[in-house]
Amino acid sequence: MNYLPSILSTVVFLPLLGTVLVVALPSREKNLLRAVALLTSLATFAASLNLWFAFDPAASGFQAVERFWWLWVFGVQVDYHLGVDGISLLLVLLTTFITPVVILSSWHAIEDKVKGYHACFLVLETAMLGTFLALDMVLFYIFWEAMLLPMYFIIGVWGGPRRLYATIKFVLFTMAGSVLMLAALIWLAISFKQFTGNPTLTFNLLEFYATDFLRPGTAQSLMFLAFTLAFAIKVPMFPFHTWLPDAHVEAPTAGSVILAGVLLKMGTYGLLRFAIPLFPHALHQFAPAICILALVGIVYGALVAMVQPDLKKLVAYSSVSHLGFVVLGLFVLNDFGLRGAIYQMLNHGLSTGLLFLAVGVVYERRHTRQIEDFGGLARVMPMFAVGFMIATLSSIGLPGLNGFWGEFPILLGAFAARPVFGIIAATGVILGAVYMLWMFRRVMFGPLTRPENEVLRDLSPREIAVFVPMIVVMFWMGLFPKPFFDVMEKSVAEVLARHEQRLGQAEVPRLEIQAVLDSLAPARKN
């Protein structure tokens, strides 16, 4: 395969170069600052598309790998090590796609400290991309921690009235998980060194994958729990979700979009990249309990969302429910569940991101998010109503839109693992349709009872330019999901094969997508 030289480094650090340009420009040139940030994010998206076209879905392992010695001191080796597989590729594209959308969405919403605002988003993009592509665990941890600072400022400086409370809560929860992860990855590296007799303490993830060096027992269980807890907080998984509604409500619209669209995926990605493949026996032991917590999160998030009077808080609690589906798909440990979970990560980023953008549109016009303050908006904002409707239908998994191809495979995987898991998860789908459609009806239909709503303007050309790309991708992923499933196929198969090989037996039920499609072939011919 012919990749451009250092394409991964280009994708990761291009936003950081844009940050330097933004910082160098005068603060009074607000539109120029916005334009540079937007062009930088578009250039990063264009660079990431090269990965999509050059990626070989039939090849195993990581591609476009970049590795060189970075730090060696007192026998500790840390490498600058990047690579992309079918899982990280999709999340990289999600990140580079959403970032220019959120920058464009906040073109007029942010008028104070514009330079710092856009610099934070570009630094955040570099940190997110580095997290998805790092193959050295110390490098991963550095990028992981680097996300914290720009998000802290985005919420704490440009957020709502209770922004300091929300920011401190967000930082404390994240830091608690990060400390556990740091301790666990050091313990993991020491265990690898002792097993192999290597004089160097390495943090190379691919070497950890290639060596079955952890024996069943307390040490493996504790490391698994430390990693899982760190990532569960970031997801956030029930019962570690309490920081999320506060962060969403107080963040500016663009902050909520990037938080829901990409940052929460760091937790589910970490579970899939580290907790699941490295600790097979502990995973087999704790997976049922984690599935139960995911199911509780699905139902709990839906029930709490149903009674929310605030639009933004309703969407925030819907994230708890939807990400419960992702965690469930990961931990049922079969082909359908894992692929559905990865697809649902993308779906949630798009549908929930567009919902937050829609909430931001009405908030900028009315300066309220209370559902009772609206009603009949479809009469005065028809284009907005169409975009909001598509985001709502995508969120509830309507066939033909992207949400269906996330929830449907997860439900199949859950039924294959334990039918009761599938039944409970299906109730979450029903509840999701109830609260989302009820919310949409109350906001969009009925009489225009408030004079303030009668004069609301519909979407501007800039807002249409924000909505349309996301809607197009939603329909593309809903009508043509095969390319996305093909890209992740090899990587998912490797995760399952590695788990079963290390476990020593195929104790977890497998449900292969291709086998199901083959069984349906005669029916299709008839």
pLDDT tens track for 416-429: 888 999 999 999 99
CB distance 476 to 52 below 8 Å: no
pLDDT digits (tens, 9 = 90+) for 351-381: 999 999 999 999 988 888 899 989 889 999 9
Tokens of 301: 């998030």
Question: What's the rounded mean pLDDT across residues 160-166?
Answer: 88
| Count of beta carbons in the 10 Å neighbourhood of residue 430 | 10
Residue 332 backbone phi and psi in degrees, to 5: -80, -15
Structure tokens given for 122: 């570009």
Q: List strand residue ranges (DSSP E) for 19-150, in order.
A: 63-73, 76-84
Task: Check residue 359 and give its pLDDT.
Answer: 93
Q: What is the mean pLDDT of the chain?
A: 88
| CB distance 248 to 314 below 8 Å | no
User: Which residues face 80 on adjacent strands?
Assistant: 68
How far is C-alpha 221 from the chain's CA centre? 26
Q: Coil, strand or helix: which one is 54?
A: helix
pLDDT in tens, 174-188: 888 899 999 999 999
Cβ atoms of residues 498 and 333 within 8 Å: no
Confidence at 510, pLDDT banded by 50, 70, 90: very low
Please write the tens of the pLDDT for every residue from 82-126: 999 999 999 999 999 999 999 999 888 888 889 999 999 999 999
Non-local CB neighbours of 278 within 8 Å, separated by 6+ positions: 188, 208, 209, 214, 223, 224, 227
Cβ(375)–Cβ(449) below 8 Å: yes
Amino acid at 22: V
pLDDT at 523: 44
Cβ-based neighbours of 219, under 8 Å, separated by 6 or more? 187, 191
Confidence of residue 525 (pLDDT cuts 50, 70, 90): very low
Give, in order, the Cα–Cα distances in Å from 469 to each of 38, 125, 399, 403, 478: 15, 19, 19, 16, 14
Find residue 77's DSSP bridge partners. 72, 202
Give me the pLDDT at residue 214, please: 81
Which residue is listed with tokens 């087999």? 284
pLDDT at 2: 41
pTM (2 decimals)?
Answer: 0.90
Q: What mean pLDDT do residues 462-467 have?
A: 93
Distance CA(106)–CA(30), nearest Å, equals 12
Is 461 a residue whose pLDDT tops 50? yes
**Burial letters 448-469, b for 16+ CB under 10 A, else e:** beeeebeebeebeeebeebbee
367: left (phi over 0), alpha (psi -120 to 50) or beta: left
Is the pLDDT at 171 greater than 80, yes or no?
Answer: yes
Using 50, 70 and 90 to split pLDDT, how confident is the model at 463? very high
Note the pLDDT tens digit of each residue in 272-313: 999 999 998 899 889 999 999 999 999 999 999 999 999 999
